[in-house]
Chains A and B, each alone.
Chain A
Amino acid sequence: MRSVVGLLVLAILFASAARAELAPGDRAPPVLAIAGKQVPLPEGNWIVAGRAPGAVTPGKDLGSYGTIWNVVLLRISPRGALDAMAEINVNDMAVDDGWGVAADCQRSDLVLTVVRSRAGWDATCFFVTHTIWNRDTALPAAWRQANAVAAQRGLILPATTVTAGFRVANRRDIIDVRFHFLADPADVPATNWNASQWSRDQLQQDRWRLAFDRSVAEWSAMMIGHVEAGLKNRLPPTWITPAPGAAEASLDRASIMSLRQRRLAALRSSGLLSAAQADRQSALLRQAEADDSHDAIDPGADDFYRLLSYQGLSVTSDALVTFMWTAQSVQAAAVTLLQASLRTGRSYAVAYLWDWYGDTPTRPDIARTVDFAYGGVDR
């Protein structure tokens, strides 16, 4: 018994030592631990290039999150060149009232945006686009450090990258990670984001660029599950995440859904699940995998349109009923108008009193938009 307690103490001491924050220049592990969360990195030789407090928008009304840790990493190819960059933003302290979705996840002009969950206290989405790197813009502190590290190592920073952005957030924590892949080192800087050869409109005419974007998109669909798992520290520390361009079978094998299927199979073989239960759950898992946009309907918008249609039809039925009984259009209009006004006033009063005297304070179940200061330009 004592040995177990002793081991726990040792483990906790060891854990705190192992969680010591990485400094610029350090080689990054395959799963980066930052502020009590894990961020998986696609396979490769990553180095931490910058780490500094970042900025969040809006900065107010998010509670006491401490600070935002902005970490920039560079991936060095076997030939010694820079072939990818990553920028990570995470909260230092957990909050009580959630975060929100990224503005980029709500855009329609990107190559791909997928919103898997968008509610008041839960957000999961990813997107694929391109980023242009304008050296004249004011850079966040972590990016300034990264530029210095790159210069020190003789790494050439790109003009344009293909970006896969991931946002996962729950009531407590947020991870915002953007991976920037150097597709073509010969890319010339575009005058603006829209004019780039990587923009959605120009991409259709360029089969090579289209294929590159497609491989990043396929990889992103696998990656989002791992970023989600990282929010709850559920990735094995030595987990290797395949990089874009990996074989389809390899991406399938590494996907969270595939891992869950294997776990179901293990439960079945251990006898904890019957064959029928395992088959049923396996089918439900496949269904969940196919339905990638679950909860994509904004609950707030859903509520709004439900209310609008209900109120519209109620007022219409009130007008008809009153006219049917009074046979006077003026009286019917007056009654309907008064009723609608009083009921609206009542609803506001109930909401106010609910907020004031209810057990818990409330806010709409609508995702807020929360963003960070980033290094590149993607609009």
Chain B
Amino acid sequence: MRLTDKCLAAVVLLLALAGGMLPAWAAEPGETVQGILPLADRQLPLPRGEWIVAGMGVQTQPQDAAGPFGVVRSAVLIQRSGDRVTAIAEFNTNEIALSDGWDAPHPCDAAAADFRLDRYHSRLDAACVSVATSHITGGPPAWQQALGFIASRHWQCDETMLTAAFVVSDRQDFVDARLHFDPAGLPGQDDAQRILFAWATRFAPEFEKGLANQLTGPPFDGPLRAALLSDTPTLDSRLLELEALQGDGAISAADALSQQQAAQNERPRSAEPEPVSVDGWYYRLSTPLINLVTAYGVTQSAPLAVAIALTEHVAHTFVYAATQASWDRATGQATRHTSAWPVLIHIGDTDKPAGATS
């Protein structure tokens, strides 16, 4: 990069950050970033330390992919100690915001994980965290680029890593992120997964802040360092903010106290399950049982009760299918999200070659 280019980039960055607005401009392979990776008009959070951008690309989508999200941008960054890669960050996010949400009410369901937390889900947003062991093999085009970058510098990368996976989506955007850590940097396997999961659940809200370009504080500590510090860094900062507002006279002492109490119990809530969720195992099991017992209680005839319960079960199945279909037809256009969840290839998806579509 020439000096004038560097100056231009610096001016753009300064202007952008000054206004709290990040440009679509993103870091280039070989550059070092700390705390935040700007990508597709949003901020992606990184744990404390220097991260090297190793690969940038887009996820290949099917020709008939539904949804005006432009492309799915990918970035791979690495952290190293000497010639050893100690952590890898992979990010995927949409380029253009949607206006009517993603047709994936539970994008987290696909995650196979040893530890998993569904932070929240509703018709228009969802967030989850999971932790699992990953094999660092094939991956998306950005990862292929990163592999070349790592090989060209003769750095070593472990084939198995511990992965914290994050999915956050709202009506407009999504971020799919995976942070892979060298297990050598963490205690024994069971402890390591537990420590990483506890850390990941605290780190997850940073992605929501990043989607809103509101990452302003110091970077979050990595899993091991965070385990040695406060268990509740987010709560701590909220309580300090409330104290500051009270100090400035913006809120009364009573307001501050009630909000401090609220802050200690705050958790994002999910949407209640569908009220007519006859697909749930408890409904499938309990409805015929209730019908059978009730019919027997009134008729005092076992064959009659079985016949009633079975016929009712068949009738309910038809009634459910018919009502759902007619309501779906009636409200379909107004409540349907036209944009399908994009096809994503992650590091370690060996069965799906890089660039493949499904």
Q: A294-B99, A306-B275 are in contact. Are A66 and B250 (CB under 8 A)?
A: yes
Bound CA–CA A245/B13 (angstroms) = 34
Note all chain A residues with C-beta closer than 8 A to B251. 53, 66-67
| Smallest Cβ-Cβ distance to B171: which chain A residue | A122
Mark out the residues of chain A between 218 and 267 whose CB falls within 8 Å of any chain B CB in the assembled complex: 228-229, 231-238, 260, 263-264, 267
Q: A274-B63, A294-B100 are in contact. Are A119 and B123 (CB under 8 A)?
A: yes
Mark out the residues of chain B between 215 and 267 whose CB falls within 8 Å of any chain A CB in the assembled complex: 216, 238, 241-242, 245, 250-251, 255, 259-260, 262-263, 266-267
Bound CA–CA A211/B352 (angstroms) = 58
| Number of residues from B at the complex interface, CB < 8 A | 112
Mark out the residues of chain B between 302 and 358 whose CB falls within 8 Å of any chain A CB in the assembled complex: 304, 307-308, 311-312, 315-316, 319-320, 322-324, 327, 331, 333-335, 338-339
Mark out the residues of chain A between 110 and 159 whose CB falls within 8 Å of any chain B CB in the assembled complex: 116-117, 119-122
Contact with A along B175-201 (1 / 0, CB 8 A): 000000000000000000000000000
Query: Which of A14-22, A178-186, A197-205 has 4 or more CB atoms under 8 Å from chain B?
Result: A14-22
Contact with B along A318-361 (1 / 0, CB 8 A): 10111011100001001100110011001100110010000111
Note all chain A residues with C-beta closer than 8 A to B172. 228, 232
Does B270 have its Cβ within 8 Å of any Cβ on chain A?
Answer: yes
| Number of residues from A at the complex interface, CB < 8 A | 111
Contact with B along A273-310 (1 / 0, CB 8 A): 11011001110110110010111110100111111011
Q: A19-B20, A307-B275 are in contact. Are A94 and B209 (CB under 8 A)?
A: yes
Q: Are A267 and B312 in contact (CB under 8 A)?
A: no
Note all chain A residues with C-beta closer than 8 A to B118. 359-360
**Which listed residue, B35, B212, B308, touches A231 by the CB 8 Å rule?**
B212
Does B137 have its Cβ within 8 Å of any Cβ on chain A?
Answer: no
Mark out the residues of chain B between 17 and 44 whose CB falls within 8 Å of any chain A CB in the assembled complex: 17-23, 31-35, 41-42
Mark out the residues of chain B between 278 and 306 whose CB falls within 8 Å of any chain A CB in the assembled complex: 280, 282-283, 286-287, 290-291, 294-295, 297-299, 304
Mark out the residues of chain B between 88 and 126 whose CB falls within 8 Å of any chain A CB in the assembled complex: 95-101, 117-125
Q: A63-B262, A92-B245, A338-B294 are in contact. Are A1 and B275 (CB under 8 A)?
A: no
Q: Are A11 and B13 in contact (CB under 8 A)?
A: yes
Contact residues of B: prevailing secondary structure: mixed
Bound CA–CA A31/B283 (angstroms) = 52
**Which listed residue, B95, B275, B283, touches A263 by the CB 8 Å rule?**
B95
Closest Cβ–Cβ distance, residue A349 to chain B (whole Å): 10
Query: Which of B66-74, B75-83, B144-152, B156-164 has 4 or more CB atoms under 8 Å from chain A?
Result: B66-74
A-B contact pairs, 26 of them (CB 8 A): A1-B31, A1-B32, A3-B6, A36-B216, A64-B262, A66-B242, A66-B259, A92-B250, A96-B266, A120-B271, A171-B170, A232-B173, A236-B23, A237-B15, A237-B16, A238-B19, A267-B71, A277-B61, A280-B64, A281-B67, A284-B66, A293-B334, A294-B334, A325-B311, A350-B282, A362-B270
| Beyond A11-B13, A64-B259, A297-B331, 17 extra complex contacts between A and B, CB < 8 Å | A8-B33, A16-B216, A38-B21, A64-B242, A64-B262, A96-B268, A97-B266, A122-B122, A235-B21, A237-B20, A267-B95, A277-B61, A291-B333, A294-B100, A299-B123, A314-B316, A346-B286
